[in-house]
Amino acid sequence: MKSFWPIYKRELFAFFVTPLAWVLITVFLLVQGMHFFLLVDHFSNMGAAASDQTPIQAFFGNTILLYLVLFLLVPPMTMRLFAEERRSGTIESLMTAPVSSWSVVLAKYASVLTTYVAMWAPTVFYLVILQRSGEVDWGVAASAYLGVFLVGAGYLSLGLLMSAITTSQFLALIMTALVVLGLFILGVGEFVTREGTLMHDVCSHVSVWAHMNDFASGIIDSRRVVFYGSCVVLPLFVTVRAVDAWRWG
């Protein structure tokens, strides 16, 4: 694990030194800012009509915007992690240094997760601004951020895996986007299948829409935490196996 730290630092450096990072962050904050502005505007005009919801709930759940952002954000963040190193051959220098596959995988994962958290961090200011004219339930906000963190962590882990199984960044991008989209569509199945069927149970278990609505309302369900926990751990495990597998190809 000693090699975790240098690789982690280098990955962060490599990401922030490219224009891609700054484009992603700028677009992300622009979209989130607009999203938030429209919501607050909507709630201040509608007043009593929308009283069963707060702007925080709407910001983190119940609208398509959050998922659209995740869908557009995660694949370009993870696509280069392994695919680029394998294409350019730098993976050879990396893996012939005294490092373990686990530390390489974890360091790369931790670097995108850090970036992801750093991208969301400025949105806390939205809530601070909101508090100046209203009341913010910080417990609910914390729960909502936990939801955003867990969903993002799961998606990033899947993206890392996709990057490890191909040498093409573009393919990694497409595959990650498809998996994220696939999970979302499977989750939407909750609303179209009949209650009580197996399909309905499966769909509601993976439904990111329902999960985020819970988190945004301040409900932390241990099933959700376990689900996203396994969405993180399982792909990471398979990624390590994939990295080991190149050597025996």
CB 238 to another protein: min, Å: 19
* Residue 95 vs 117, nearer CB to another protein: 95
The only residue of 17, 23, 68, 129 in contact with another protein, by rule CB under 8 A: 17
Q: Is 171 in the site for another protein (CB under 8 A)?
A: no
Q: Is 98 in the site for another protein (CB under 8 A)?
A: yes
What string marks each residue from 99 to 138 as x (binds another protein by CB under 8 A) or -? xx--------------------------------------
Q: Which of 239, 224, 225 is nearest to 159 (CA)?
A: 239
Containing H/E element for 34?
Answer: helix 19-46
Q: Is 188 in the site for another protein (CB under 8 A)?
A: no
Q: Is 19 in the site for another protein (CB under 8 A)?
A: no
Q: Is 21 in the site for another protein (CB under 8 A)?
A: no
Binding to another protein, residues 76-95 (CB under 8 A): 88-95
Burial class (CB within 10 angstroms; exposed 0-12, middle 13-18, buried 19+) of 223: exposed
Q: Which of 158, 123, 141 is nearest to 25 (CA)?
A: 123
Taking the C-alpha atoms of residue 239 and residue 72, their distance in angstroms, rounded to an integer, is 22
Taking the C-alpha atoms of residue 32 and residue 137, their distance in angstroms, rounded to an integer, is 20
CB 119 to another protein: min, Å: 20
CB 20 to another protein: min, Å: 12
Taking the C-alpha atoms of residue 76 and residue 172, their distance in angstroms, rounded to an integer, is 9
Q: Of the listed pieces 62-70, 98-106, 138-146, 161-169, which binds another protein according to CB under 8 A? A: 98-106
The only residue of 13, 37, 138, 170 in contact with another protein, by rule CB under 8 A: 13
Q: Of the listed pieces 6-14, 121-129, 141-149, 185-193, which binds another protein according to CB under 8 A? A: 6-14
Q: Is 23 in the site for another protein (CB under 8 A)?
A: no
Q: Of the listed pieces 97-105, 149-157, 158-166, 203-211, which binds another protein according to CB under 8 A? A: 97-105
CB 10 to another protein: min, Å: 6
Q: Is 96 in the site for another protein (CB under 8 A)?
A: yes
In three-state form (DSSP H/G/I as H, E/B as E, the rest C), the secondary structure along 144-207 is HHHHHHHHHHHHHHHHHHHHHCCCCHHHHHHHHHHHHHHHHHHHHHHHCCCCCCHHHHHHHHHC
Q: Which of 109, 230, 91, 226 is nearest to 159 (CA)?
A: 109
CB-side exposure of 102: number of CA atoms within 13 Å? 4
Which residue in the block uniquely carries the two structure tokens 């985020």?
212
Binding site residues, another protein, CB under 8 A:
2-3, 5-7, 9-10, 13-14, 17-18, 88-100, 247-249
